[in-house]
A = this chain, B = another copy of it.
């Protein structure tokens, strides 16, 4: 029961545009930690399909006080879920990440942290606590599941139970900065985890920490660099020899923060910059290449051929997130449509800008992924998720053929991000399954869906049917049974 009496009852606002607006009845919040052993399965899960599919997304723990009621959905507390799959059976579990923030609010039975990434709006009682929501991605490395939010260090979870084991995980002290990306890369050759943190020395700072941890989680390399301006650096590119950061004009709004606003604002007057540095160096070789004003969020794949660097991201000419304000113009939904865009730069010459080209001009999508075994390497398999007037869908790309395939669950359903799962250890690139959650809006239920990459248009080979709408997500992450084999709870 309550350690403290939080006073008034919990009720999210009716206004759908408010934080958690519509509440549980409207599906805007979930808040329930659920466990379903041996889910119902339609179709057949391949007998050697074995591992755990993790997901995480923001799920408002408490309504915000009136002053912060216009906070954005990204500020919901991280709620992790997992489907454990083996022998044709599936077990489901979801748990809030026990962040420092979650624990403080749980004890107080109310919201204590104000606006999205604005510590100036916090209740005085939480001074010194991490603001991190751990709501963006979960990854598995050196036996640890880490829930990530790019404004704070990882939170470590037990991969078998989802219990939080460390509410501020710093790789044994190896992470020196205040932040850590939600999109570290796993080098398939070396087993390294390569990560970074931006605004690493405080609110609005342009300091970035870059580092690499070995298979055992020991930080074996790090460097500090500065970016041209402070703003969102959601993802980055790691190739065999290089690390690259795309700096986009979703800038940190220092003045806005002081007046109680959210963290970012879109400044269309600024160019983008692609920064490239050698892996393993001290960062002094970092070079910046200028590019157009555009927004790009996720890296599909990246590699280098000698000094030629290739980076594929989904991006758009304008601000892609309507809830981040624009400094100079009104939001234009046509300018938010994402296309796979290939950036290239030749490091051997004196180029001062990077080139970019849209790969599939007719194809709109977001949440780019690849066969994760091909991080850092030349790749052919890409995955995207798409939302549009015809409903939502998953897209599978084969760059070698220049082809793509689409599966849509119909207009009464809404997909979360699709992830690629190899058919088995050692399977060829792109040979396996797309796995992801589909929300059946009319039924207020969710399914986990498996598509065979041989023919995603044929529809699911297996559907895991949940009795209710499960918690939403930003990203998902697959860990095979082999990878999890050595983990003991």
Contacts and interface: CB of A to CB of B under 8 A. Distances in A.
Given A10-B41, A11-B40, A34-B34, 13 more contacts: A2-B87, A5-B89, A9-B88, A9-B462, A25-B443, A29-B467, A32-B34, A33-B35, A34-B35, A89-B109, A444-B445, A444-B468, A467-B469
A334 interface: no
Contact of A37 (B37, B92, B106): B106
Interface size of A as a range: 35 or more
Interface in A235-257: none
A5 B85 CA distance: 11
B2 A86 contact: yes
Given A10-B39, A33-B34, A25 B445 contact: yes
Interface string A21-36: 0011101011111111
Given A468-B32, A468-B469, A40 B23 contact: yes
A31 B25 contact: no
A45 interface: yes
A443 B6 CA distance: 29
Interface in A112-169: none
A8 interface: yes
Contact of A467 (B42, B87, B468): B468
B6 A89 contact: yes
Contacts of A388: none
Given A35-B32, A41-B11, A89 B469 contact: no
Interface in A66-109: 84, 86-89, 91-92, 106, 109
Contacts of A343: none
B31 A467 contact: yes
A200 B246 CA distance: 76
Contacts of A30: 467
A48 interface: no
B88 A8 contact: yes
A404 interface: no
A62 interface: yes
Contact of A9 (B23, B89, B445): B89
A400 interface: no
A308 interface: no
Contact of A36 (B2, B32, B469): B32
Can you list the 9 inter-chain pairs with the closest CB atoms, starting with the nearest?
A24-B467, A468-B468, A9-B41, A444-B444, A5-B87, A32-B36, A34-B34, A33-B35, A9-B88
A459 B203 CA distance: 50
B40 A1 contact: no
A446 to B, nearest CB: 10
Nearest to A443: B25
Interface in A322-365: none
A38 B62 contact: yes
A62 B8 CA distance: 41
A172 interface: no
24 contacts: A1-B84, A2-B86, A5-B88, A5-B89, A6-B87, A7-B88, A9-B45, A11-B41, A23-B465, A24-B467, A24-B468, A25-B443, A25-B445, A27-B467, A29-B40, A29-B467, A31-B37, A31-B467, A32-B92, A32-B468, A33-B34, A37-B106, A444-B468, A467-B469
